[in-house]
Chains A and B, each alone.
Chain A
């Protein structure tokens, strides 16, 4: 932390905050791999989290008794500070530092949001729509895949949006245990007292989060043509 304080002093005195020369020279070698690594970490984590959260969410919506314990456990995971979670994970025998524990932690953070939104999405399906579907002879499976999930999808995607943005932020800390990604630039910048790297890392992480948010927002809208139609 004293490093950081010193650095802030430097930053304030530094006449040239961004060393464009450095960026040009290290663009392909440092910056692009860091961005790629960050996208990889976030994408893989959200994807894995979804693979877990969707079935758990559907199950919790069906068997209501399961839902409180599920939110309890995932709520605890969500509330552990990220640095502490990384520390806990790498202290487990067999877990080495690197992307793996980072991804595990990021998945753990996304579960609560994704499961909650899956359940909320399924809850938002009008009961009479399900009754009509059943009355017309759709099987339970067809009701889930053709009626419930499509109708819940916008809410689920809204959850993916929040989870993704959160994860892109937390993933920077993963560099602390050698997870790679944009955090690497930031941590290196701090230890070298070189603000250009910190700013590059921070700006790019923010930009990634904003881009992901906008992309998922348009996906959310795209998945709800019927609501758009209703408003006109």
Chain B
């Protein structure tokens, strides 16, 4: 668990803090997304966790211990670090890159090699093919996978990720996000994730911390609550006028409570249960029909506008 306690950061020679009096907790195994407009101090906030930036006031506790209890380098070796520009070592092979922290921690060669292969498979790259290559030989998406693998190398309980999927095209980004969420289901890391993209925040976060100019926490809550009950004008304008639609993207069709279809489904559009309610709504609107068929657990069910609408009115209360 990571605990921010009245954390402030003011740079020398400046009167205005970039982060002001920040207090919140990131629970074990959760992804906390820091999001906000540029200049809101979200990256600064993240970098204070592993002391790449030192705090001016307040403290950050990691599992109850202040993060200043050990040397900065020892602390950093226990915290995974992945950034948008990736920062792979161009002169080192993929295997050496991923093995950086295990090597610093003095793991045996064989153990490092096994771990590298395991991680390459985890992020969907064939170890035999990629282990001995140099970063320049990989595509942007592959490099970002390696960047995530490198951050995971020594199996740190905590990860810091600063727009880790930012440097690739939207399609690749979405795939990387999905894959990472799938990986996270198994590894259950405590993650501080920085992005400027509210859609990414909604998709990736168990909790979202919205920061505003001057590093002030505007709202800290689940994506559901942020979308259904924005605390302030700032939050509601930041999440956007389409926040109702965004809420729909939190639910997959397969998770919806849908009525069984009793015959007469021919001619109706068919929708996958993996689709988000938002995408399903779009499909439905596009089809010109008022109902669509979803196959769930071998049964045909009916997706209607009413079912989608019910989602928007109950989501807020149920969360």
Contacts and interface: CB of A to CB of B under 8 A. Distances in A.
A134 B52 contact: yes
Nearest to B137: A229
A131 B134 contact: no
B211 to A, nearest CB: 21
Interface string B52-90: 100000000000000000001111111001010111111
Contact of B104 (A131, A136, A150): A136
Contact of A150 (B88, B91, B134, B160): B91
The number of chain B residues touching the other chain, given as a range, is 20 to 34
B129 to A, nearest CB: 14
A150 B91 CA distance: 8
A139 B74 CA distance: 10
A136 B88 contact: no
Contacts of B150: 136
Nearest to B93: A226
Interface of A is mostly: helix
Nearest to B81: A135
A133 B136 contact: no
Interface string B252-276: 0000000000000000000000000
A227 interface: yes
Given A128-B85, A129-B88, A151-B90, A135 B50 contact: yes
B306 to A, nearest CB: 50
B73 A131 contact: no
B100 interface: yes
A165 B52 CA distance: 43
Of A129, A132, A224, most B-chain CB atoms within 10 Å: A132
B101 interface: yes
B101 A136 contact: yes
B100 A151 contact: no
Contacts of A227: 90, 136
Contact of A230 (B88, B134, B147): B134
Contacts of A139: 73
A129 B88 CA distance: 6
Contact of B87 (A132, A137, A224, A226): A132
A131 B93 CA distance: 18
Nearest to B100: A136
Contacts of B135: 226
A225 interface: yes
Given A137-B101, A139-B73, A132 B90 contact: no
A138 interface: yes
B83 A135 contact: yes
A126 interface: yes
18 contacts: A126-B87, A128-B83, A128-B86, A129-B87, A129-B89, A132-B83, A132-B147, A133-B89, A134-B52, A137-B73, A137-B74, A137-B78, A138-B104, A147-B89, A224-B91, A225-B134, A227-B136, A229-B137
Interface of B: 50, 52, 72-78, 81, 83, 85-92, 100-101, 104, 133-137, 147, 150, 160
